[in-house]
Amino acid sequence: VPNWVVRLIVVLIVIGFPIALIFAWAFEITPEGLKRSEEADAMPSSARPTNRTWIYIVVVGAAISLSLFFLGRYTAGTRPTSSGDRKSIAVLPFASLSQDKNDAYFADGVQDQILTNLAKVSDLKVISHTSVRQYKTGAERNMREIGRHRINATLIDARTDTHIWAETYDRTAADLFAIQSELAQSIVTQLKAKLSPQQKAEIEERPTQDLDAFELYLQAKAIIDSYINATDVRAALLQALKSLDEAIHRDPNFVSAYCYAARANDLLFFFDLDPTPNRISLADAAVKAALRLRPDSAEAHFARADYYFRCLRDYDRALEELAIARPGLPNSTPFFILSGYINRRRNHFPEAERDFSTAFALDPRNPNAYNLLADTYMLERRLMETVHVYDNVLAAGETAPIVQFRRTASILYATGDAGPVRDVLTKYPDMEFAGGQTPFRVWMAVLDHDYAAAEKFLANSRLKDFQDIDLSFYYPKSWYQAMIARAKGDTTRATAAFRECREILVQRLIVKPEHARTIAVLAQVDAGLGQKDLAIREAQHAIDLMPISKDIYDGALVLEGLAQVYTWSGERDHAIELVQKLVTMPGYINYGRLKLHPLWSPLRGDSRFEKIVNSLAPK
């Protein structure tokens, strides 16, 4: 027997159950965090969970892990979702009992796969991995060299402390997936949830025979499922792809790894982090590999939907693939996020809000879910609801500075009050998530006419490109250099910076020649260079490529580009006419930006423009 097998055999220690029982008895899980039952009962009826008669706990102990499963009331906040009448379960993280500091991916793997199996059951509402991660204890570890494990599972009605069911599983590491399948099916049976033959078959199917490949997949999956809060999105996605490529090399039949590889490639292309034909080819190849291995895989059809949406902008075919995938992904947060993405670009905002709210209910701590729900409210100019989303996330225990920043930025957009966001930027001077904070620092400094500080903020950033208006376009550093010089009246430096920015944008268009957002920003640059006629032609071309009828999201942004061209070219009447049109449709033009951002300074003082601004002021 290999030494690593003997070395890692440990004895099951069942601990934590009394604590778990007390918590389940005295508390309820809400998107605002754990609340005492009395407090939850005192909540408004719209915010209280409904149709919940059972609260369950499953306590699972393993040789290297101890996990608490809370089944029961898990509310989606103030907005009901279609999952409101289903039995609800959250699989809490495993706490490692091993002395080896490198073992936790075994615990993570067991938790994640049991959760994945339960998520295939349409009769259950399953809270996603991200939203229970806060309950994890101990450091990250490794699952490769686990020899044997024993799992004790107990199902308890937390109201009466009645033991409904218990089982012990004592197996080798090779039986990891079998135990996960058996345990998931036992929970389903005890909860009297409906399990179709297809769902049963999917639960019993092993994702891979290679535990090393599975570990690599888990690492990549965690990155991709939370890319929106990555400090460097490109680097994070490339690291995830590296892990997935290695997992696929170890197991060429690993369907889930192909699906996540496709998604990572889709994101790199979609966000212009690598907008090359090769990136599209890699995404396409990964999708085809997954479908070749499993033509009926819901996950593979979801991957193809994501590919159609992000790489080809074929929304109709994307929706067709989602319809195929839907029955097999009843609890998939990424599914509802993608559906929401497509619906809001098609100007179906009620449906988009429903989708993002469902994603948020399934996974309240998932950065993609809560940011996109908040962003959708922002597009609808329901900005205090954007703030409320972030309030809920913070109340649930999230402490990330980026959440505090986005909350206070939303306050500025809603009220014109820059004080809160200034405080957050001062509190976290090194905060830099995808570059979104540096433009804000520059904006605040220019607002104060402190141009030296603005230049210093820009020079100190390690990034070359920055998110600004939204999460899907990156502006070159030279764009902000031009903004600062223009604001302080330094025409020579502004011209030099605009020319540098123009060269960068032209190079991007060589790779992606019909990218409407890039052409719209190029038009703004040419307006800054005094090339009025050229700028107007370019801005109009961007609109022709991306009309509102095709995509309300990007369509409004390129239309805003033309309004900016008119503003900088002295065409005040046309500019104000367009701004008036823009505030009647979903988009990022709002009270705070029109009132305070230097881009709109040439229009200030015009009574027509001020009337538009005042119409957006908080009531």
- Tens digit of pLDDT for each residue in 398-437? 989 999 999 999 999 999 999 999 999 999 998 987 668 9
Asked if the structure places residue 314 within a domain, the reply is no
Residue 587 reports pLDDT greater than 80: yes
Mean pLDDT across 518-541: 98
Q: How is residue 542 written in tokens?
A: 């961007």
Task: Note every long-range contact of 43-52, with CB atoms under 8 Å and residues 24 or more positions apart, other chains counting.
Answer: 44/78, 46/78, 47/75, 47/77, 47/78, 48/75, 49/73, 49/74, 49/75, 50/80, 50/84, 51/84, 51/85, 52/88
Phi then psi for residue 319, to 5 deg, are -65, -35
Phi then psi for residue 96, to 5 deg, are -75, 135
Pairing of strands 87-95, 33-36: unpaired
Q: What integer pLDDT is reported at residue 229 of this predicted model?
A: 76
Q: How is residue 536 written in tokens?
A: 């107007």
pTM of the model: 0.75
Asked if the structure places residue 388 within a domain, the reply is no
Asked if the structure places residue 7 within a domain, the reply is yes
Q: Give the span between the Cα atoms of 68 and 136, in whole angstroms.
A: 10
Q: Which of 172, 187, 206 is the last residue of a domain?
A: 206
Asked if the structure places residue 331 within a domain, the reply is no
Q: Which of 206, 236, 266 is the last residue of a domain?
A: 206
Position 48 confidence tier, pLDDT thresholds 50, 70, 90: very low
Phi then psi for residue 609, to 5 deg, are -65, -45
Domain count, the chain: 2
Handedness of CA 546, 547, 552, 556 (dihedral sign): positive
Handedness of CA 81, 86, 91, 92 (dihedral sign): positive
Asked if the structure places residue 342 within a domain, the reply is no
Greater confidence (272 vs 545) lies with: 545
Mean pLDDT across 145-156: 54
Q: Which of 206, 224, 247 is the last residue of a domain?
A: 206
Of 156-170, 266-280, 403-417, 566-580, the one with minimum mean pLDDT is 156-170
Distance set, CA 259 to CA 108, 143, 156, 315 (Å): 20, 23, 36, 19
What mean pLDDT value characterizes the chain?
81
61: helix, strand or coil: strand
Q: Give the span between the Cα atoms of 263 and 217, in whole angstroms.
A: 13
Q: How is residue 227 written in tokens?
A: 């890319």
Asked if the structure places residue 528 within a domain, the reply is yes
Is-contact 127 170, C-beta < 8 A? no
Q: What integer pLDDT is reported at residue 63 of this predicted model?
A: 33
Asked if the structure places residue 494 within a domain, the reply is yes
Q: How is residue 286 written in tokens?
A: 């990964």
Note the helical H segments in 205-276: 211-224, 233-250, 255-270
Domain span holding position 435: 413-615
Asked if the structure places residue 295 within a domain, the reply is no
Q: What integer pLDDT is reported at residue 230 of this predicted model?
A: 83
